[in-house]
Every structure is written in structure tokens, then in C-alpha cells.
Amino acid sequence: MELNETKLHELLGKIVTEMGAAANGPLVTIGDKLGLYKSLSESDALSSSELADKTNTSERYAREWLAAQAASGYVEYDATNNNFYMTPEQTAVFGNNKSPVFMTGDFYAVSSVYHDEPKVEEGFKTGKGISWGDHHPSFRYFKK
């Protein structure tokens, strides 16, 4: 059987995109837990040093977190001033826990899929499902 190079590259592109999304999920929950999104959304724009100071976090990790979030389109980067900011849409999704489209809780819920993997594997073997109450606690985590 011969490989279709075009189809192979399309498939690999999808996989790399999904792997990036999976790897960014924990960064979203960390940004929520540490108040990185909230602090950034409440400011006009911040450098990584300023965000680190506001959130009592390491500047290096704040800088790398900001770069990853900008690469995903979750925050914006202003190269001229070397700072980061959030649009109203990004704030609604990540920075305002009163917003009807606030999504960070969904990232906690998705993380339960990884925690629950052994239970799902057992379900494949036995045919028994997982009751809602048996999921990892992160499945039920949503900010109020």
C-alpha cells in the first residue's frame, strides 16, 4: 500500500494541532488558578515582569505562559512595547468569571478525561460505564 503524501501531511497537521491544544490545557487552568488571566484582563497591557509582580509568580514562567497564550490566540502581544493584553472577547472567555462564555471550567473538565483514563480503559474491557459521580473531581470544577 502506497502512502498519499498529501493525506499524510493533512493528518499529521491535525495531530500536531490537537497535541498543542492538549498541551495548552494545563496552562489555561494554571492561568486561572494563579489569576494570570484575571490580572491581565484588568490591565490595559502588562509586561511579563508586571504580570509576575501582580500575581506573585516567577517572571520567567509568566513570560513563557504569556508567549504560549499569545501563540494560541488567547492573549495578544504588542511587539512594539513588549507587552501583552486581552481583547474584550478574550476577557469574556478567560478573564471574567461572571461572563456567560467564561470557559476555564471546561478545561478543568477536559483534564478529567486524562485522570479517568484507567476507568475508561476498564470500561472498554468490561462494558461497564462510568457514573457521573465516579469521574475525577476536576470534571465538576466550574468557577462561580
Task: Give the cell for residue 81.
Answer: 512595547
Q: Using an 8 Å Cβ cutoff, are 86 and 37 in contact?
A: yes
What pLDDT was estimated at residue 137?
83
pLDDT of residue 57 exceeding 90: yes
Question: Residue 51: phi, psi to the nearest 5?
Answer: -65, -40
- Pick the residue with more confidence: 37 or 143? 37
Task: Give the cell for residue 5.
Answer: 503524501
Can you tell me whether residue 54 is helix, strand or coil?
helix
pLDDT tens-digit map of 66-111: 999 999 999 999 999 999 999 999 999 999 999 999 999 888 888 8
pLDDT of residue 41 exceeding 80: yes
Beta bridge partners of 46: 84
pLDDT of residue 143 exceeding 50: no
Give whichever of 17-21, 29-33, 112-116, 133-137 has the largest mean pLDDT: 29-33
For residues 120 and 124, give the distance between their C-alpha atoms in angstroms, rounded to a whole number.
6
User: Over the chain, what is the mean pLDDT?
Assistant: 92
